[in-house]
């Protein structure tokens, strides 16, 4: 593609292999997530609606709750052995878990043992995907330079979105034609093996090799005299990174999972919801490519900041929009708005990653990434069960508002690290994207500033 024309052949090959591997890895990871409306009935005991909601939350969170431990394990491997070893090993783990799930008896056949085994497989998948995506993004960050670095790293994330879309496509096909659901997991296992083999062609990143070669005895003595901040990076960078990465898990869960009970009220079956989410995932892939491509002309942090501002405004009006929505199409529109225009890290991944020391980069970024997923998915999945019971849809605002504010604070912090001007008006960004005359934007902002002064 023209956008990668400045890269050498080996760089393009590495980016392509990593994108393929990430696609395959996330195909496997998200297969159960998106088929949960069907599979939870097979692997978990039948209960009342409230307990069923808690069990569904448990099944969802089991994928992410132990990710921080996986981040520490694979982070150590990535920072001490190499980036290449990590991405190959994680793909092998994913294929093994898919093979087990494809052959696993249901709850009706073996009882509670099925519940525990499927949960263990989900944990293994969550651990392996943790090392996978961060390893791929760090690898691409270290072999490229801005501005092509922004879009190259973003396309790794886009590959994960396509993997999720692919899993939904297979899930929809299997359920629509009433095929055996195990077929989907056999496909997942096969493509994970293909991903492992393909990545053997990767070479270690020159940036990592250079730093490893410098880490001799003299350097180790020097590091021993350094404080924690010099070795790992600034504390404020950790906090800003954490707050920024809290945004996407909230966005993902609300967009894909929160509306399932509402859609059931309209008579949606499990098959209907899988198809509905498949169509939703297509919009995410399209918008991700758009935002990533735009980073060649506009600084990525400016784009991400705009998405944070939209999320902050939406946190206030979202309950009203849901109450006004009276058709599945209206619900779909709200989901598209949430998924594509709010708190996603695309296309700023590379900027967040490169502000951590190279020899601690994998461990630090992956651990924080995993921690945000574990905390936010627990808070959203379990928290919304109770918040919506007492506050209705306004329970969404209770979670979304502080997360959106923290997201914007984190973006402002990284803007300072990048030495970007802080007073840039968002009008300029809207004019570049949509070619909207300045006078109309000024009018719009003046009208709504009384209601939403933070804009």
Peptide bond before 203: cis, by omega within 30 degrees of 0? Answer: no
Q: Give the start-end residues of each E strand in 101-210.
A: none
The pair of structure tokens assigned to 127 is: 């651990």
d(CA 47, CA 50): 8
Q: From 1.10.10.60, 1.10.10.1100, 1.20.1250.20, 3.30.380.10, which CATH number describes the 2-424 domain?
A: 1.20.1250.20
Tokens of 150: 């922004």
Q: Domain limits of the chain?
A: 2-424
Q: Report the chain (455 residues): mean pLDDT per 10 consecutive residues.
A: 65 78 76 69 68 64 69 74 70 76 81 80 74 78 84 86 84 75 75 65 63 54 53 82 93 87 84 86 92 90 94 92 90 92 88 86 85 85 81 89 95 89 50 49 52 42
- For 141, phi and psi rounded to 5 degrees? -60, -40
Q: Which two tokens stand for residue 194?
A: 């293909």
pLDDT at residue number 451: 44
Cα three-residue angle 42-275-349, rounded to 5 degrees: 95
Q: How far apart are CA 295 and CA 300, in angstroms?
A: 5
Please state, in angstroms and rounded to a whole number, the distance separating the CA atoms of residues 266 and 326: 9
The model's pTM is 0.74
| Predicted pLDDT of residue 171 | 77
Q: How many angstroms separate the CA atoms of 315 and 84, rounded?
A: 40
């Amino acid at each position: 593609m023209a956008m990668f024309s400045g890269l050498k052949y080996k760089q393009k090959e590495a980016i392509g292999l990593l994108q393929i591997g990430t696609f395959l890895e996330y195909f496997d990871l998200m297969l159960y997530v998106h088929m949960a409306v069907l599979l939870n009935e097979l692997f978990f005991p039948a209960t009342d609606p409230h307990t069923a909601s808690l069990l569904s939350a448990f099944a969802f969170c089991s994928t992410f709750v132990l990710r921080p431990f996986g981040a520490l394990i694979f982070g150590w491997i990535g920072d001490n052995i190499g980036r290449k070893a990590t991405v190959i090993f994680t793909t092998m783990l994913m294929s093994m878990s898919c093979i087990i799930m494809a052959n696993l008896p249901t709850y009706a056949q073996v009882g509670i043992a099925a519940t525990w085994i499927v949960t263990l497989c989900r944990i293994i998948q969550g651990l392996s995907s943790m090392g996978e995506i961060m390893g791929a993004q760090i690898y691409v960050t270290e072999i490229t330079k801005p501005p092509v670095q922004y879009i190259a790293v973003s396309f790794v994330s886009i590959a994960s979105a396509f993997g999720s879309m692919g899993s939904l496509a297979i899930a929809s096909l299997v359920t629509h034609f009433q095929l055996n659901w195990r077929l989907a997991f056999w496909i997942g296992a096969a493509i994970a093996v293909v991903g492992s083999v393909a990545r053997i062609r990767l070479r270690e990143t020159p940036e990592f090799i250079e730093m490893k070669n410098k880490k001799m005895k003299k350097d180790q003595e020097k590091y021993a005299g350094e404080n924690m901040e010099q070795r790992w990076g600034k504390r404020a960078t950790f906090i800003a990174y954490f707050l920024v990465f809290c945004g996407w898990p909230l966005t993902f869960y609300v967009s894909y999972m929160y509306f399932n009970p509402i859609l059931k009220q309209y008579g949606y079956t499990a098959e209907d919801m899988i198809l509905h989410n498949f169509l939703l995932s297509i919009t995410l892939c399209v918008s991700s490519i758009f935002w990533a491509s735009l980073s060649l002309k506009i600084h990525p942090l400016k784009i991400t900041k705009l998405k944070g501002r939209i999320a902050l405004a939406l946190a206030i009006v979202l309950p009203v929009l849901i109450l006004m929505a009276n058709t599945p199409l209206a619900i779909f529109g709200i989901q598209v708005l949430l998924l594509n225009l709010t708190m996603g890290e695309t296309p700023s991944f590379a900027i967040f990653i490169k502000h951590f020391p190279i020899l601690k980069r994998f461990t630090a970024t992956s651990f924080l990434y995993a921690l945000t997923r574990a905390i936010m998915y627990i808070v959203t999945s379990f928290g919304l069960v109770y918040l919506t019971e007492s506050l209705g849809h306004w329970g969404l605002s209770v979670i979304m508002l502080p997360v959106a504010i923290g997201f914007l604070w984190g973006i402002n912090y990284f803007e300072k690290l990048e030495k970007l001007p802080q007073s840039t008006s968002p009008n300029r960004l809207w004019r570049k994207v949509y070619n909207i005359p300045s006078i109309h934007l000024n009018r719009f902002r003046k009208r709504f500033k009384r209601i939403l002064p933070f804009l």
